[in-house]
């Protein structure tokens, strides 16, 4: 069976959920071979094997942390040359897409970004993308070289399927150009304790209707009761009520959670572009004519200052 390279997104060997989703999708088109760069490959291998990785190609070098993405592209290219895979899968993060694009150029292959589904096809893997503010679904296939495909988080439910997960060292040599831009400092963002917006299974977003930075605490309280990430419309971000890193939409982040709750958001096309592929959409808006109600699964016409706290209390009560 053809091997499929899966680029591992991890923090010191703690594998992040989108990688488990990639392994699950990779099994539809071949045998997953994980590529783990940086520290913690042995710890990661147990989880990667549990989700179907037959092999884990591991490389650890200071270059991965000291420079921008090019050394990681060198390593992925080395893995590509070692395996001759049927496809290369990466998570659709900003970094994943940059690595994917650079790899595709180097190996002369076509690339598909932001896939939301993947299936085997007679002439190679077929990727589904959601386009034009999610008003169309398209299916595409790479016709030149080895398909390089990035997949959006939450596109598949991770399913375990035990495989060997044998760690093999990957020899990597770094090109001169790859070490041309050095990272000179890092400042970690203060942790909110909430899941990352693009990976969260549930997102609760607030818009202009929240009417002030101080009122976002009620959005955060609902999010925390559900273990959700917090999002915001551009109107709320532009007003300075919530950080830009939390903006959902065309010029913010694209999310595709199991559940998206929009409070005080009208549903402008640019906002929809970032959340329309969410599995279940709930809106709370006091205007029954708000366009967001055209795309919701459940809509509450009401004042968010009454509805959201009641919802939070109900969630807490049911959770005991």
Ligand X SMILES: Cc1cc2nc3c(=O)[nH]c(=O)nc-3n(C[C@H](O)[C@H](O)[C@H](O)COP(=O)(O)OP(=O)(O)OC[C@H]3O[C@@H](n4cnc5c(N)ncnc54)[C@H](O)[C@@H]3O)c2cc1C
Q: Which residues are near ligand X by CB under 6 A?
A: 207-209, 233-236, 247-252, 264-266, 268, 270-271, 274, 284-287, 290, 303-305
- Helix (H/G/I), strand (E/B), else coil: 172: coil
For 43, other C-beta atoms within 10 Å of its C-beta total 15
The minimum distance between CB 250 and ligand X, in angstroms, equals 4
HEC states along 190-222? CCCCCCCCCCCCEEEEECHHHCCHHHHHHHHHH
The minimum distance between CB 270 and ligand X, in angstroms, equals 3
Query: Kind of pairing, strands 14-15 and 136-141?
Result: unpaired
- Token look-up 């993947």 returns 118
Q: Which is nearer to ligand X, 159 or 303 (CB)?
A: 303
Q: Which is nearer to ligand X, 174 or 305 (CB)?
A: 305
The minimum distance between CB 291 and ligand X, in angstroms, equals 8
Residue whose beta carbon is closest to ligand X: 249
Contact between 149 and 115 (Cβ < 8 Å): yes
C-alpha 280/C-alpha 258 separation (Å) is: 6
Q: Which is nearer to ligand X, 41 or 236 (CB)?
A: 236
Q: Which is nearer to ligand X, 96 or 209 (CB)?
A: 209
> Cβ neighbours of residue 94 under 8 Å, at least 6 residues apart?
none
Q: Which helix (H) or strand (E) holds 120?
A: none
Q: Which is nearer to ligand X, 178 or 254 (CB)?
A: 254
The minimum distance between CB 140 and ligand X, in angstroms, equals 24
DSSP sequence for 279-305: SEEEEEES-TT-GGGGT-SEEEES-HH
The minimum distance between CB 304 and ligand X, in angstroms, equals 4
**Cα angle value 130/131/135 (rounded, 5°):** 90
The minimum distance between CB 138 and ligand X, in angstroms, equals 21
Contact between 97 and 90 (Cβ < 8 Å): yes
The minimum distance between CB 109 and ligand X, in angstroms, equals 31
Q: Which is nearer to ligand X, 93 or 285 (CB)?
A: 285
Q: Which is nearer to ligand X, 107 or 301 (CB)?
A: 301
Of 223, 216, 222, nearest to 197 by C-alpha is 223
For 65, other C-beta atoms within 10 Å of its C-beta total 13
The minimum distance between CB 181 and ligand X, in angstroms, equals 28
Query: Kind of pairing, strands 3-7 and 87-91?
Result: parallel
Q: Which is nearer to ligand X, 228 or 284 (CB)?
A: 284
HEC states along 214-245? HHHHHHHHHHHHHCCEEEECHHHHHCCCCCHH
- Residue 136 has what DSSP assignment? E
Q: Which is nearer to ligand X, 120 or 268 (CB)?
A: 268
The minimum distance between CB 279 and ligand X, in angstroms, equals 20
Q: Which two tokens stand for residue 298?
A: 């459940």
């Amino acid at each position: 069976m053809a091997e499929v390279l899966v680029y591992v997104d991890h923090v010191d060997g703690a594998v992040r959920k989108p990688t488990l989703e990639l392994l699950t999708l990779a099994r539809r088109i071949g045998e997953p071979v994980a590529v783990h760069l940086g520290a913690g490959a042995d710890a990661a291998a147990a989880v990667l094997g549990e989700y179907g990785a037959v092999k884990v190609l591991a490389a650890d070098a200071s270059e991965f942390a000291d420079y921008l993405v090019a050394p990681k592209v060198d390593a992925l290219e080395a893995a590509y040359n070692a395996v001759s895979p049927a496809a290369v899968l990466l998570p659709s993060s900003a970094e994943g897409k940059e690595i994917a694009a650079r790899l595709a150029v180097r190996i002369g292959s076509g690339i598909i970004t932001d896939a939301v589904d993947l299936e085997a096809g007679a002439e190679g893997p077929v990727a589904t993308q959601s386009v034009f503010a999610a008003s169309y679904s398209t299916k595409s296939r790479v016709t030149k070289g080895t398909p390089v495909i990035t997949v959006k988080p939450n596109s598949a439910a991770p399913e375990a399927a035990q495989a060997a997960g044998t760690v093999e060292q990957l020899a990597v040599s770094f090109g001169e150009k790859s070490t041309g831009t050095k990272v000179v400092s890092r400042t970690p963002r203060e942790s909110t304790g909430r899941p990352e917006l693009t990976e969260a299974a549930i997102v609760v977003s607030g818009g202009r209707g929240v009417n002030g930075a101080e009122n976002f605490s009620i959005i955060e309280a609902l999010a925390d009761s559900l273990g959700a990430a917090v999002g915001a419309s551009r109107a709320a971000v532009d007003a300075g009520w919530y950080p830009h890193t939390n903006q959902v939409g065309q010029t913010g982040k694209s999310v595709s959670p199991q559940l998206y709750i929009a409070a005080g958001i009208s549903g402008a096309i640019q906002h929809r572009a970032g959340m329309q592929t969410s599995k279940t959409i709930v809106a709370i808006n006091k205007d029954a004519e708000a366009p967001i109600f055209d795309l919701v699964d459940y809509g509450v016409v009401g004042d968010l200052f009454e509805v959201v706290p009641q919802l939070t209390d109900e969630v807490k009560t049911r959770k005991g």
